[in-house]
Amino acid sequence: MTRLLLLLLVLVLGGPAIAESCAPDRVDLRGDWGRASFTVEVSDTPETRARGLMYRKKMDRFAGMLFVFDAPMHARFWMKNTLIPLDMLFLGPDGRVRRIVENAEPQSLEPRDGGPGVAYVLEINGGTAARLGIAPGNALRHPRIDSETAAWPCP
């Protein structure tokens, strides 16, 4: 019964995003806690990665930005000119969450270190990772993740 209630909660909060899997403007996350989907903007150029979510005063509850790197790297993010707290999910090339920085302080120049081997970063509203139970080892699905090596490939 509890599992059914959790699924219903994710469906209500995630809305139609769950039904539309593997679209360029959506990511799916899953773990022991269940599954959630987010509408995302993809940031895959030096210019869009540098700007990120700067100057935004709000973001929809199940929205975010997916940063895509050309090759795995040691990723460090800061919150310069970012006005809202964010959770940063640092992911490996297989789409697995490696590290989470929760509630990164807005407008801070302190680097948030995701460690080496980061191929993707998902930024979502601060507090969302804890509220849903997102943790290292959880899998993210998106068409930009190579289906041959993805922990959770797109169909």
Closest CA to 84 of 108, 67, 101: 108
Would residue 146 count as lying in a domain? no
Question: How does the average pLDDT of the chain come out, rounded?
Answer: 90
Structure confidence at residue 62 (pLDDT): 98
Would residue 117 count as lying in a domain? yes
3-state secondary structure of 43: strand
Task: List, for residues 113-150, the tens digit of each pLDDT value.
Answer: 999 999 999 999 999 999 999 999 999 999 999 999 99
Would residue 29 count as lying in a domain? yes
DSSP 117: E
11 pLDDT above the threshold of 90: no
Structure confidence at residue 20 (pLDDT): 52
Number of domains in the chain: 1
Structure confidence at residue 15 (pLDDT): 43
Structure confidence at residue 21 (pLDDT): 75
Tokens of 52: 């990120």
Would residue 147 count as lying in a domain? no
pLDDT average, residue stretch 61-80: 97
Task: List, for residues 71-87, the tens digit of each pLDDT value.
Answer: 999 999 999 999 999 99
- Of all residues in the chain, the percent with pLDDT exceeding 70 is 87
pLDDT band at 12 (very low <50, low <70, confident <90, very high): very low
Domain that holds residue 91: 2-141
Would residue 155 count as lying in a domain? no
Would residue 96 count as lying in a domain? yes
Would residue 152 count as lying in a domain? no
Tokens of 88: 């940063």
3-state secondary structure of 123: strand
Query: Residue 56 sits in a domain of what CATH number?
Result: 2.60.120.1140
- Could you give the angle at the alpha carbon of 116 between the alpha carbons of 51 and 61, nearest 5°? 45
Would residue 148 count as lying in a domain? no
Contacts of 40 (CB under 8 A, 6+ apart): 25, 26, 27, 63, 64, 65, 66, 122, 142
Residue 97 contacts residue 132 (beta carbons within 8 Å) = no
